[in-house]
């Protein structure tokens, strides 16, 4: 098996890396306690492998050897001396804990750290290093697609990498509800309790899903208490802070706040480019020499969701590979054309577009936006001001009051009067009609 893995590693990494790191790892020392021990020639090699390649090696082994979880441990000769102490007796683990719904590729080594997630990352690492001791529960919240599940899975994988005898279970809150309902119906609560109450680490994803499921909340509350009393690590993710969870029993949400709460925010441009670069290095190492501008181009369009960001990169790669063309900013733009267009359309509904109407109208009459929304009552300013109010009302049909707020806090009746005036004038003033048609054309024209 190790030979097979080495062969695969040889084809997926450069010769230098292979010769430096993997080639010296020729001998499997022993197989015990669920681990395969491989002798590392130096601390340096051991560390690098553990930090950068262990996850990849473990998942390769799993895919080659479909049976069950296989874990490698890289050790120095000196560490093998007191080997029995190192390993401990093998526990007879139930197979359901072997994988614990963990995905090996969601690890700390391929989680890109930046300002938006640094604290969450550092704390997750601490929790994983000393489960049950540092922070319990550990509560991660943030918007969709920002890496909560990834971080939670990384904690589980790390704990198992350190000690394969830990009973780690990852479960989505929605699946937890279903499983519980199922077991109640089948009168198999004993099995359910046995499975969950015996855990060392419980990772429960998207806890906000428990809203409106009071029975499940009760059961989860019991489980939570039982596990935390024994210092078993509980990790929770959510799309909002515990205090804002709706329809969740307050004694549950207040428990969540007693642990450590971290949030993950939106990555900045530099961070997003780094995420793309990391993704390339694992998914398509042969195109790592891609022009950095391409990555910046993609990162500048996909700003709020890492999953979408990665999807965009995949799309560009797929497009260029299947059409056999170079990856450039232009071809990337082609590949993402429809995606970017649909995004533009949805953005067209945001309030930035009130700004847009104001700026187009000011441009058209060669006045500043400041004067457009200002107090000056010269006809040079009042006509464009009334037109802008009228256009916003017609296009978005928002309240006069709201429009007034966009124009320096004018009241309802001022805006209403302006809109009525323009409407009346339009009935006979051909010039005004023409001007408004032209302005509308400019507003509808995409910015770039
Ligand atoms: P969430 O659970 O917050 O909705 P996920 O953890 O599922 O988000 O992340 C969405 C995708 O983005 C996953 O493929 C994940 O691996 C990736 N991802 C998110 N954050 C990062 C990061 N900092 N570094 C690398 N990949 C990330
Ligand atoms: Mg998630």
pLDDT tens, N- to C-terminus, the chain (448 residues): 777 788 888 877 877 778 778 877 767 777 776 677 888 877 778 878 877 788 788 877 777 776 566 778 887 766 765 444 333 333 334 333 457 899 888 999 999 999 999 999 999 999 999 999 999 999 999 999 999 999 999 999 999 989 888 999 999 999 999 999 999 888 888 889 999 999 999 999 999 999 989 999 999 999 999 999 999 999 999 999 998 898 999 999 999 999 999 999 989 999 999 999 999 988 888 888 888 899 999 998 888 899 999 999 999 999 998 999 999 999 999 999 877 776 665 555 555 678 889 999 999 999 999 999 999 999 999 999 999 999 998 887 777 877 888 898 898 889 999 999 999 999 999 999 999 999 998 887 765 4
Positions at the binding site: 145, 147-149
In whole angstroms, give the CA distance from residue 281 to residue 69: 25
Q: Which three-class secondary structure state does DSSP give residue 306? A: helix
In whole angstroms, give the CA distance from residue 176 to residue 348: 39
| Helix ranges (DSSP H) in 170-260 | 173-185, 189-197, 214-229, 250-257
In whole angstroms, give the CA distance from residue 253 to residue 257: 7
State how far Cα 33 lies from the chain centre.
34
**Could you tell me if the CB of 373 is within 6 A of ligand 1?**
no
ipTM of this complex: 0.99
Q: Whose CA is nearest to atom 16 of ligand 1?
A: 150
Choose among 183, 118, 106, 190: nearest CA to 151: 106
In sequence order, what are the beta bridge partners of 39? 75
Query: In angstroms, what CA-CA distances link 181 with 58, 197, 210, 227?
Result: 35, 17, 13, 21
In whole angstroms, give the CA distance from residue 140 to residue 261: 6
Q: Which are the contacts of 59, defined by CB distance < 8 A and separation ≥ 6?
A: 104, 105
In whole angstroms, give the CA distance from residue 30 to residue 322: 45
- Nearest bound ligand to the CA of residue 207: 2
Q: Which residue has the tokens 């549950």?
A: 252
Q: Whose CA is nearest to atom 19 of ligand 1?
A: 147
In angstroms, what is the span from residue 23 Cα to ligand 2's centroid? 38
Burial 308-344 (b: 16+ CB within 10 A, else e): bbbebbebbbebbeeeeeebbeebbeebbeeeeeeee
Closest ligand 1 atom number to CA of residue 114:
23
């Amino acid at each position: 098996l190790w030979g097979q893995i080495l062969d695969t590693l040889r084809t997926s990494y450069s010769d230098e890396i292979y010769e430096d790191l993997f080639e010296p790892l020729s001998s499997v020392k022993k197989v015990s306690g669920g681990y395969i021990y491989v002798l590392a020639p130096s601390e340096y090699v051991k560390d690098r492998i553990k930090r950068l390649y262990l996850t990849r090696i473990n998942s390769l082994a799993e895919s080659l050897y479909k049976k069950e979880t296989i874990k490698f441990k890289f050790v120095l000769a000196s560490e093998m001396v007191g080997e029995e102490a190192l390993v401990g007796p093998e526990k007879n683990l139930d197979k359901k804990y072997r994988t614990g719904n963990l995905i090996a590729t969601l690890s700390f080594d391929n989680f890109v750290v930046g300002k938006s997630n640094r604290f969450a990352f550092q704390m997750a690492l601490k929790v994983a290093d000393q489960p049950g001791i540092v922070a319990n529960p550990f509560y991660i919240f943030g918007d969709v697609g920002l890496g909560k599940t990834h971080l939670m899975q990384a904690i589980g994988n790390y704990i198992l990498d350190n000690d394969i005898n830990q009973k780690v279970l990852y479960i989505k809150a929605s699946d937890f509800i279903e499983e519980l309902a199922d077991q109640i119906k089948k009168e198999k609560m004993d099995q359910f309790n046995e499975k969950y109450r015996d855990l060392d680490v419980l990772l429960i994803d998207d806890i906000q899903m428990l809203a409106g499921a009071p029975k499940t909340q009760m059961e989860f509350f019991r489980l939570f208490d039982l596990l935390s009393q024994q210092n078993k690590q509980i990790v929770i993710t959510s799309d909002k802070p515990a205090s804002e969870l709706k329809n969740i029993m307050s004694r549950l949400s207040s428990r969540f706040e007693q642990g450590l709460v971290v949030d993950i925010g939106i990555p900045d441009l530099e961070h997003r480019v780094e995420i793309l670069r990391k993704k390339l290095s694992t998914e398509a190492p042969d195109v790592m020499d891609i022009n950095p501008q391409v990555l910046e181009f993609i990162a500048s369009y996909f700003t709020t969701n890492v999953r979408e960001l990665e999807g965009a990169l995949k799309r560009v790669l797929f497009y260029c590979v299947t059409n056999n063309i170079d990856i450039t900013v232009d071809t990337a733009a082609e590949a993402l054309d429809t995606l970017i267009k649909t995004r533009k359309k949805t953005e067209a509904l945001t309030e930035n577009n009130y700004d847009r109407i104001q700026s187009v109208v000011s441009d058209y009459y060669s006045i500043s936006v400041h004067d457009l929304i200002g107090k000056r009552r010269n006809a040079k300013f009042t006509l464009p001001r009334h037109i802008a109010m009228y256009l916003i009302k017609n296009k978005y049909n928002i309240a006069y009051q709201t429009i007034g707020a966009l124009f320096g806090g004018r009241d309802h009746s001022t805006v209403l009067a302006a809109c009525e005036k323009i409407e009346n004038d339009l009935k006979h003033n051909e010039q005004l009609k023409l001007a408004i048609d032209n302005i509308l054309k400019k507003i509808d024209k995409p910015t770039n």
